[in-house]
């Protein structure tokens, strides 16, 4: 891999071309980083959306008296279920995912709530390393969904 600093004017027919080439490479590196950040954000958003879809489907089948709007806000979700959602295995992972999802949608920075509840996030910082966050949360959130659906089925009205 060639470092931009190793590009010298003597490698080009025209010295101006070396500068243009360096600028083009800088732009490519910047765009590459932007695409990676966007992909990481989209991974978090997609994981959260999959949790919402799975939850809605299970509730529609087993607890139809709970309205769809009651599962979109965490306080409503907690109040609507006939069991304590916070006691579901890996609820903490789901909650962290939810807060990260909200930060991505609202500001791209760590909210007070995320920073307060999860000390590895610093309030006001730019959300970064989302790829690592995704990799850590994904298996835990899958366990949460499985446990949540088991609880929903236990309390089924069907």
pLDDT of residue 76: 81
Is 72 contained in some domain?
Answer: yes
pLDDT of residue 81: 82
Is 54 contained in some domain?
Answer: yes
pLDDT of residue 54: 94
Cβ atoms of residues 97 and 137 within 8 Å = yes
pLDDT of residue 98: 96
**Rounded average pLDDT per 10-residue block, the chain, 158 residues:** 67 75 79 88 97 92 83 80 92 97 95 96 93 97 97 86
Is 4 contained in some domain?
Answer: no
Tally the domains of the chain.
Answer: 1
pLDDT of residue 2: 57
pLDDT of residue 67: 81
In 3-state terms, what secondary structure has residue 155? coil
Is 57 contained in some domain?
Answer: yes
Domain range for 58: 11-154
Cβ atoms of residues 150 and 54 within 8 Å = no
pLDDT of residue 5: 67
pLDDT of residue 51: 95
Is 18 contained in some domain?
Answer: yes
| Cα–Cα dist 20/17, whole Å | 5
């Amino acid at each position: 891999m060639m470092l931009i600093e190793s590009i010298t004017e003597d490698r080009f027919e025209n010295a101006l071309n070396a500068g243009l080439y360096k600028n083009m490479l800088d732009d490519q590196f910047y765009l590459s980083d932007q695409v990676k950040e966007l992909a990481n954000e989209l991974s978090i958003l997609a994981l959260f959306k999959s949790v919402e879809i799975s939850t809605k489907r299970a509730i529609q089948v087993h607890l139809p008296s709970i309205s769809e709007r009651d599962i979109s806000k965490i306080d409503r979700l907690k109040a609507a279920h006939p069991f304590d959602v916070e006691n579901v295995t890996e609820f903490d992972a789901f909650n962290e995912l939810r807060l990260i999802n909200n930060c991505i949608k609202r500001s791209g920075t760590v909210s007070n709530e995320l920073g307060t509840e999860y000390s590895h996030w610093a309030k006001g910082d730019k959300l970064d390393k989302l790829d690592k966050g995704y990799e850590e949360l994904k298996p835990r959130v899958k366990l949460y969904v499985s446990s949540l659906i088991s609880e929903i089925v236990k309390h089924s009205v069907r």
